[in-house]
């Protein structure tokens, strides 16, 4: 699915030098590498404040803590996402309220969000799934009208942009009150362990979240509120700082691979036309293709996946079970069939290999096998 070794070999000298510098300085925690990366990421994203943290899940948790939400407050998330989005809501004693997604973009359905809002709704967490923004124009307008916070889960979408009707373009994670991202190794900007960051343009929120990430401490050994311990370590920051200047190239490489997949799978003259749907595009957003996710509607998805595996091609199901059908998140308010689009997606999605190092030979081998298996299969 990913090829992190080849990517490393291309910038090995820079990464190795950065790691060595950290070891030589012994500034392993909150060292100058973390400050440098924070500054460079602020410049790249346009966020006024970047708060480096331990991972993307912590970023989401600290964001919700920073908003001062209380048990019983409702937080709206899409039901078709990675578990972390709802996990932190549940851990904080808040009430997750899930909504269905759009069949084409697989992102949160904003009209469904409107219907799910109650007087207890305090925050909405859109997930920019697979690397393209949710409809942030409609969502921000709705949140403003209802006075509800927006915390973007941009863990899969760093570098994606959304252009508003007034012509303004913003990066994923810098549009809502708070944005969160992850530097998990396979993410679009990945480190060599765990890492994450929070974005905000609000000075007071930034200060509060920085304190929460540091044991709730504004002044050393004085703890004004209950916090957590969540930091990006200096070695990971050095790796990320070496990779950040390449992020735009990495995105372009992913987009080229996606364009290749699109051109093969959207061929109207193909024998499988209409049976394999390419990822739908969100208007006004770029797509940075954390995943390239097909919808298999005219064949057995699991048989296709097995056939690909037999040909040495990994393919993954992101995600096989929507939140409302997860055992730990079963809620009497929801039953099977309540979120038909998410349930249909869970049964038909298939993500193909997607990374920065896919060459034409690999893409041709992958697409050739998909077409052949689809024809044999339907
Ligand atoms: C990866 C991911 C997270 C969590 O990030 P970690 O760094 O693994 O904690 C949260 N939400 C989404 C949508 C993700 O893809």
- Cα(33) to centroid of ligand 1, in Å? 23
- Cα(87) to centroid of ligand 1, in Å? 11
- Cα(252) to centroid of ligand 1, in Å? 22
Whether ligand 1 lies within 6 angstroms of the CB of 182 is answered as yes
Whether ligand 1 lies within 6 angstroms of the CB of 292 is answered as no
| Helix axes of 12-25 and 234-243: crossing angle, nearest 10 degrees | 150
- Cα(239) to centroid of ligand 1, in Å? 19
Q: What pLDDT does residue 99 have? A: 98
* pLDDT tens profile 287-321: 999 999 999 998 999 999 999 999 999 999 999 99
Whether ligand 1 lies within 6 angstroms of the CB of 127 is answered as yes
- Cα(368) to centroid of ligand 1, in Å? 32
Question: Residue 352 is inside which H or E element, if any?
Answer: strand 349-352
> First-to-last CA distance in the chain?
25
Whether ligand 1 lies within 6 angstroms of the CB of 80 is answered as no
Residues 6+ apart with CB under 8 A from 141: none
Residues 6+ apart with CB under 8 A from 178: 63, 66, 67, 149, 150, 151, 152, 198, 199, 200, 202, 205, 209
Token pair for 288: 């940075």
- Cα(60) to centroid of ligand 1, in Å? 9
- 3-state secondary structure at position 123: strand
Question: C-alpha angle 284/343/84, rounded to 5°?
Answer: 70
Q: pLDDT digit of tens for each residue in the chain (378 aa)?
A: 899 999 999 999 999 999 999 999 999 999 999 999 999 999 999 999 999 999 999 999 999 999 999 999 999 999 999 999 999 999 999 999 999 999 999 999 999 999 999 999 999 999 999 999 999 999 999 999 999 999 999 999 999 999 999 999 999 999 999 999 999 999 999 999 999 999 999 999 999 999 999 999 988 888 989 999 999 999 999 999 999 999 999 999 999 999 999 999 998 778 888 899 999 999 999 999 999 999 999 899 999 999 999 999 999 999 999 999 999 999 999 999 999 999 999 999 999 999 999 999 999 999 999 999 999 987
Q: What pLDDT does residue 353 have? A: 98
Q: What pLDDT does residue 267 have? A: 86
Whether ligand 1 lies within 6 angstroms of the CB of 96 is answered as no
Token pair for 127: 């997930």
Q: C-alpha 301: how far from its chain's center?
A: 24
Token pair for 272: 């499988």
Q: Which atom of ligand 1 is nearest to the CA of 196?
A: 7
Q: What pLDDT does residue 219 have? A: 87
Burial readout 95-128 (b: 16 or more C-beta within 10 A, e: otherwise): bbbbbbbbeebbbbbbebbeebbeeebbbbbbbb
* pLDDT tens profile 186-200: 999 999 999 999 999
In the numeric block, the tokens 């997949």 are attached to 261
Q: Report residue 223: phi and psi, to 5°.
A: -110, 110
Whether ligand 1 lies within 6 angstroms of the CB of 291 is answered as no
Q: What pLDDT does residue 272 have? A: 86
Whether ligand 1 lies within 6 angstroms of the CB of 318 is answered as no
Q: Which atom of ligand 1 is nearest to the CA of 57?
A: 9
Q: Is-contact 52 38, C-beta < 8 A?
A: yes
What's the whole-number average pLDDT of the chain?
96
- 3-state secondary structure at position 127: strand
Cross-strand bridge partners of residue 152: 179
Helical spans, DSSP H, in the chain: 4-10, 12-25, 32-45, 56-66, 84-91, 110-116, 136-146, 203-213, 234-243, 247-265, 301-310, 340-348, 360-377
Residue 228: CB atoms within 10 A of its CB come to 15
- 3-state secondary structure at position 155: coil
């Amino acid at each position: 699915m990913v090829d992190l070794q080849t990517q490393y070999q291309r910038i090995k000298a820079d990464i190795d030098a950065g790691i060595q510098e950290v070891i030589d300085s012994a500034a392993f925690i909150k060292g100058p590498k973390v400050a440098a990366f924070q500054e460079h990421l602020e410049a790249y994203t346009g966020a006024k404040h970047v708060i480096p943290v331990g991972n993307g899940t912590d970023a989401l948790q600290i964001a919700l803590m920073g908003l001062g939400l209380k048990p019983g407050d409702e937080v709206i998330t899409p039901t078709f996402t990675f578990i972390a989005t709802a996990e932190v809501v549940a851990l904080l004693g808040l009430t997750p309220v899930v909504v269905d997604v759009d069949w084409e973009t697989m992102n949160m359905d904003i009209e469904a969000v409107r219907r799910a809002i109650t007087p207890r709704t305090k925050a909405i967490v859109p997930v920019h799934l697979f690397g393209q923004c949710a409809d942030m124009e409609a969502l921000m307008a709705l949140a403003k009208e209802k006075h509800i916070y927006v915390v973007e889960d941009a863990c899969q979408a760093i570098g994606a942009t959304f252009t508003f009707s007034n012509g303004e373009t913003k990066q994923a994670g810098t549009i809502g009150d708070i944005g969160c991202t992850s530097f998990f190794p396979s993410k679009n900007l990945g480190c060599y362990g765990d890492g994450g960051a929070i974005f905000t343009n609000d000075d007071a929120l930034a200060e509060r979240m920085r304190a929460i990430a540091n044991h709730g401490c504004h002044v050393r050994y004085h703890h004004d509120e209950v916090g957590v311990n969540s930091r990006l370590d200096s070695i990971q920051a050095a790796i990320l700082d070496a990779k950040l200047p390449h992020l735009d190239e990495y995105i372009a490489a992913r987009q080229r691979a996606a364009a290749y997949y699109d051109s093969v799978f959207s061929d109207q003259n193909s024998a499988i036309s209409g049976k394999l749907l390419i990822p739908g595009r969100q208007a006004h957003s770029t797509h940075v293709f954390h995943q390239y996710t097909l919808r298999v509607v005219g064949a057995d998805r699991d048989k296709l996946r097995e056939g690909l595996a037999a040909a040495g091609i990994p393919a993954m199901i992101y995600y096989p079970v929507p939140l409302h059908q997860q055992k730990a998140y079963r809620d009497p308010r929801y039953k099977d069939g309540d979120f038909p689009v998410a349930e249909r997606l869970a049964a038909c999605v298939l993500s193909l290999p997607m990374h920065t190092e896919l060459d034409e030979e690999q893409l041709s081998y992958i697409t050739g096998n998909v077409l052949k298996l689809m024809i044999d299969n339907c």
